[in-house]
Chains A and B, each alone.
Chain A
């Protein structure tokens, strides 16, 4: 039987506000445990939440960016459950009146096709703290769990999609597009390894052509695109195997471990909590005037689709290149800086080629690139003006990556300047032609269509004689001219 996969995503996006959603404590990542939790975050008796306006602005920006309805009145509910890293034993979240209503996110796939993924809603809520289960908490023979409440109260928007995706590629494209939107808006740092974006994937399968949904499972807390792709593939296979073996898929929450590439069931629907949602009486409904929303709309920065179109227009990039470079706000910024000081197409090639390969190999974000955009621009400028060859550029890039400074300094220190002096190149070409009578004869007697392939020998000899420093383009031009003169 042919199977169709149905995927919907719930995405938690940590907002890049300075302080928490209901308290003045800092949201900075990586501080000593429990040093960024104030009395409100600790749910001390008598403390009360005060909403952080920036979180509302950020959520509204997101809503406007996905062409969604913004709720004119928004309110918070309490979601009740006991867990040590949830100090109030309820999460303040939104159920009945989420701040962002229906919208859509448009994706492009590798084959160039396009698809619009509907957003059901996005709501504001507070993050929980973290439970640290490591063995380092063995105290007095008891297995202890450490609680770090620094993250407790960090503002999140939870984005809930409709089940509009039909395979892992679409799901990943959607996730990447969301990443691109929130980083472009500047409302999230996009740092997935620190948990700034976390994906829950709802997956079901059904016979192709069916219009009812199969039983779904939810795989929680995927924090990389690669994990998401792998987890979807594994879960789809598991579900199809189950059904084909005559078993049933059970509605359950699953956890995927990216390191071991294994998934396991966490809890089934029967074990699910009754969260006893009700409106939070400590927070009054919040009303947004049209003017307020309009003012945010006016202040929206450039969004990924507009940026892609501009890259095509302004830099003459292909659609593919423009898509690759405009998606991530940091990559786009890097590209624009590099292109401004050199050549846009070369900058695009270097960023998508060498730079991205090296960053991937070392698992670094472009913000942490050892080669800055200005340094790359400096190198490309020398490439473009013929000072160095592409081959030399590779060496210069390696040196910059290793922290040896700017391109000009490296070129100087390593004597990497290519020979572009036409007299010197002519002499080199003459020498090689004089020393290769047999090859010259062959060239002369060959069919005209075969001749271009025979140039390689001469070029190789000339470059060898120049110790790699001759300008290859010039060598080609001079060689062709001289050989043709012998015909």
Chain B
């Protein structure tokens, strides 16, 4: 495939110009933000001299550090739970036929496509109502906080993990698992020794996506977080609405850096993906694109 030709001449030059324009559009704001985070001046727009002043302030800001710790705790727990549950969901949908499978298949994709705002509204009402019922039954009033944030993040992450793992599973031939069964492997052994190693890159990719989404989420978290505990993006969102400060530039740069490390890890994982196969669902979140690029 692809041994054809690209058009040459003025059209090609126009295409090239458009490409560099889009890259400039993608990167100029990010690079500018990073540069300004090293600006000593309190006024964001006026460049004085390079310094690490705002990074120093950031590490001394107890609210930023507290929010960062909350973010990491929520992301860690929600990633582990959603990776396990999401992987099981992917295996069930891809390898088994059972009653209720069709309904589950439909529900599983909805958290991905519905807008953040509606997911946030749904969970806000749910926790409000559930806590009301629990109070009537037990007499204790639960409050929203890190617990509800974690539960909410798991709710949207399960679907994303399932899509990524399923894309990987669908590319694998189930005959390997059957061979293991023929060789008297128990179901658990077949899973542990054959299936799991084969889908491992998909599972890891799904986990990284879950981690990224959890660390990035603003809207759902804002709705289900209590008065005391917020995550870093929600705290930054609150600050940003009031205005631009160099401290936010520094925090943002750190958040960007964290995202880029996660991209690097995920792209590294994609290298071990099998070739070809259907990936339309995974293309939704872009996870399989590098595997596509490799098949050329």
Whether chains A and B associate is no
Using a CB–CB distance below 8 Å, which chain B residues touch chain A? none
Using a CB–CB distance below 8 Å, which chain A residues touch chain B? none
